[in-house]
Amino acid sequence: MLNRKSRRRAEAIARRNRPPSKTRPHGGMSRPVSRPSSPRRHAGALKSVLLTTAAASAILIAAPTSARAQIAVPGGNDPRCPVTGTTATCTGDLSDGLVVDGNLIQTLNVNNLTAAISPGANIRGIAVNGGGSGLTINVDTGAYGISTMGAHGISATENNADIAITSVGNITTTGSGAIGIYTRVNGNGNITISSTGDISTTSYRISEGIKARVRGRGDITITSTGKIITSDNGADAVEAHVTGGAGTVTVNLSGGTVQGGRGAAAAVRFSGGGANSVNTLNNDVTLTALSGRAVLGSDAKEIINNTGTIIGSVIFGDGDDTVNLDASGTTTNATFDGGDETDTFRLSGAGSNTLTGAQHQNFERLEKTGSSTWSLTGTHAFSQSAAILGGLLDLSGTLSSPIVTNQAGLTAGGIGTVGTGIVVGNLVQTGAGRFVVDLDMMAGTNDRINVTGTAQLSGTVVPRLLTIRPGPS
């Protein structure tokens, strides 16, 4: 509603816009004949003024403020991102982020920054959309890093072509769906990601650390040196997905803690693929998740080589899977489920370690390799076979398998302690096998292996004297 002053101003404008009065003769003279002002005309003029004033006010109120725009590459003569052929090299202040036309740029180099890449909300730090010729992206942010809100730190997509990303520096994202490094190939192609630095994502759902997807056939290699920390619902620290029926996926982790988020999340997730695909995780970090799921596998053949620490569950799908635990690693708080098909549990490395029977299920084969000593406590079941191929297996519990073959070293109760182990099945010791026996002559006891089936013994018995009964004085 207009105040009195505004109304008077509007009425004055309406009077100025009123058409001039007509004149008619009167005694040889003309005088103006005033036509009464039409209330309808007056109201219309007043309405026109009010609408014009309101529209002007609306325009003033809605006037946009200046927004930060990503640096377009190629983008004319911007000295920060000169282009030579299909290669762009971007340096200096790139704080507004980069959007790169992959139809024209196939190699992007980002280095020698003077500020962090930290664009506005919902804007990706570095975004490259390929044109089918392949992308190579080399990013070194030094001490500055990449920080985004509601968008990916680094994003690259291609169509039936390869993507290779090398990232050096820290990446931090906040907001739903904001992934640290995101790559996707539509169709067939390979993805290679090498990340050196820490990646941290914070949101309420699905903000993953590193995500690579091939929607066809292809290979994925992810190598991360540094921490990857995710915390929200459904946010995997690392996810690798191949839709096609064949491909090789390799994930190499070192240099810190890799933590998945809550809910359905995992620290490492393999998805897609099939019986002809091979997924490998080489773990040398502390691998954990707020959900309790360290690794979620697919129906591909999967291999886990662990020299680090695994906390939580490792769950495989179909496929012939292998867990290879080096004695230098720690899996005290880990459990392993082999799923279907023929799965192998391998104990390897140097040094010594212990595996409890409650830590594994649905594995068909046990293999003991390397020079290490592994102790089995509790009850262990392997439905096909157990083979001691190297080092020493200390059976301090029960080993159930149709056939247990000793081609290296077998003992019971640990070195230096008299104990009893149980084999539920048949025991075969080959000519290369050794049965290491602790002897307590004073107590008249020694190590024993009780076999419920048959025992075929070749090779040697290696006695270890704990005490010696004194002879007659």
**pLDDT at residue number 47:** 40
Cα–Cα nearest to 353, from 390, 325, 381: 325
* CA separation for the pair 53, 126 (Å, rounded): 44
Strands, E assignment, 34-145: 71-73, 83-84, 87-92, 98-102, 107-113, 126-130, 135-140
**Hey, what are 252's tokens?**
């190499």
Cα–Cα nearest to 255, from 222, 280, 279, 283: 283
Residues with Cβ < 8 Å from 87, sequence gap 6 or more? 105, 106, 107, 108, 109
Q: What is the DSSP letter of 89?
A: E
| Low-confidence residues in the chain, pLDDT < 50 | 1-7, 9-10, 12-14, 16-67
**pLDDT at residue number 5:** 45
* Predicted structure pTM score: 0.84
Strands 87-92 and 83-84: antiparallel
In what helix (H) or strand (E) does residue 47 lie, and over which residues does it extend?
helix 39-62
**Hey, what are 274's tokens?**
């099939």
**pLDDT at residue number 351:** 96
* CA separation for the pair 463, 457 (Å, rounded): 16
**pLDDT at residue number 45:** 41
* CA separation for the pair 324, 310 (Å, rounded): 12
**pLDDT at residue number 72:** 95
Chain Cα centroid distance, residue 163: 17
Q: What is the dihedral of CA 137, 140, 146, 151, to 10 degrees?
A: 10
* CA separation for the pair 448, 413 (Å, rounded): 9
- How big is the chain, counted in residues? 473
Burial track 428-455 (b if 16+ CB lie within 10 A, e otherwise): bbeeebbbbbbbbeeeeebbebebeeee
* CA separation for the pair 411, 235 (Å, rounded): 45
**pLDDT at residue number 68:** 63
